[in-house]
């Protein structure tokens, strides 16, 4: 069963996806980490970030792997653990080139679908999971929140990481990312057809999770009174 969670930066989708997966005991896929790993690979390879063919070649050639679990995700690039490095401001500032490359998107969507087939039950989050990667997912969510609230959440994370930033800088960055995410010609951020929309501005993560669990139960995808997926009955053997 595939559960997709899409939304803009700071909408709470990463934390929600991680906690939801842990609660259901299934892996979660942070697709942003894939775009970040390709960004780091392209920066290290020194390619021109406006060169579509070069970016596609990096996404095709480099070996970036995701180790998925219900409570963790580790990312390696050519065998080196880059889990922390892909979260740096340097990588942050360049992801838009990689996210705007049709060739890279085609390759990453293909990899995401392969992961879905291999793993089976998955919570996957990003910008295009319910639209492009898994349009036939069993259930889709779209999380959003006011820009000021999203900037406030991001500011807390960055300060906790020891970055020296102000609220105004982070808000400007959130607004800029919203603009590039929704205006890019390739796969702009949009609400997937049939998605359940949640405005998380005034909700805690626990409240978002409870709402999602309720919707999963209502859809008959999670067992009543339990945090377990409803699994399809085994096929009769003859």
Binding site for ligand DC (CB under 6 A): 9, 31-32, 35-36, 95-96, 99, 126-128
Nearest-approach distance from CB 217 to ligand DC, in angstroms: 27
CB closer to ligand DC out of 182 and 223? 182
- Which residue, 86 or 222, has its beta carbon nearer to ligand DC? 86
| Shortest Å distance, C-beta 176 to ligand DC | 11
Q: Closest distance between ligand DC and the C-beta of residue 37, in Å?
A: 10
Closest separation in Å from C-beta 223 to ligand DC? 29
For residue 90, the minimal CB distance to ligand DC (Å) is 13
Q: How far is the CB of 20 from ligand DC (least distance, A)?
A: 16
Q: Output 26 or 96, the one with its CB closest to ligand DC.
A: 96
Nearer to ligand DC, 35 or 142 (CB): 35
Task: Order the strands of the 122-126 sheet from edge to edge.
Answer: 28-30, 122-126, 2-6, 139-144, 196-199
- Please tell me the distance from the alpha carbon of residue 133 to that of residue 24, in angstroms, as a whole number: 22
**Angstrom distance (rounded) from CA 214 to CA 228:** 13
* Torsion angle in degrees (nearest 10) through CA of 81, 83, 89, 91: 60
CB of 238 to ligand DC, least distance (A): 42
Q: Are 139 and 3 in contact (CB under 8 A)?
A: yes
Closer of 180 and 211 to ligand DC (Cβ) = 180
Residue whose CB is less far from ligand DC, 24 or 33? 33
Q: Under a CB-based contact definition with an 8 Å cutoff, are residues 44 and 50 in contact? A: no
Residue 9 vs 216, nearer CB to ligand DC:
9
Q: What is the dihedral of CA 89, 113, 7, 227, to 10 degrees?
A: -110
């Amino acid at each position: 069963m595939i559960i997709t969670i899409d939304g803009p930066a700071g909408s709470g989708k990463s934390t929600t996806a991680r906690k939801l997966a842990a609660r259901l005991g299934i892996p979660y896929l942070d697709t942003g980490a894939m775009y970040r790993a390709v960004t780091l690979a392209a920066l290290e390879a020194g390619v021109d970030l406006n060169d579509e063919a070069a970016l596609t070649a990096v996404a095709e050639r480099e070996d970036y792997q995701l180790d998925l679990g219900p409570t963790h995700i580790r990312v390696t690039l050519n065998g080196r653990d880059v889990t922390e490095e892909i979260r740096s401001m340097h990588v942050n500032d360049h992801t838009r080139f990689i996210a705007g490359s049709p060739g890279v998107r085609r390759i990453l969507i293909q990899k995401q679908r392969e992961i879905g087939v291999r793993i089976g039950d998955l919570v996957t989050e990003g910008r295009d999971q319910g639209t492009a990667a898994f349009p036939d997912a069993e259930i889709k969510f779209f999380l959003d929140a006011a820009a000021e609230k999203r900037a406030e959440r991001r500011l807390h994370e960055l300060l906790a990481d020891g970055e020296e930033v102000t609220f105004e800088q982070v808000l400007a960055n959130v607004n800029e990312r919203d603009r590039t995410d929704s205006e890019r010609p390739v796969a702009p951020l949009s609400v997937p057809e049939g998605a359940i929309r949640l405005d998380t501005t005034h909700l805690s993560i626990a409240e978002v999770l409870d709402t999602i669990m309720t919707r999963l139960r209502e859809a008959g995808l999670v067992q009543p009174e339990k945090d377990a997926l409803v699994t399809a009955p085994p096929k009769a053997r003859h």
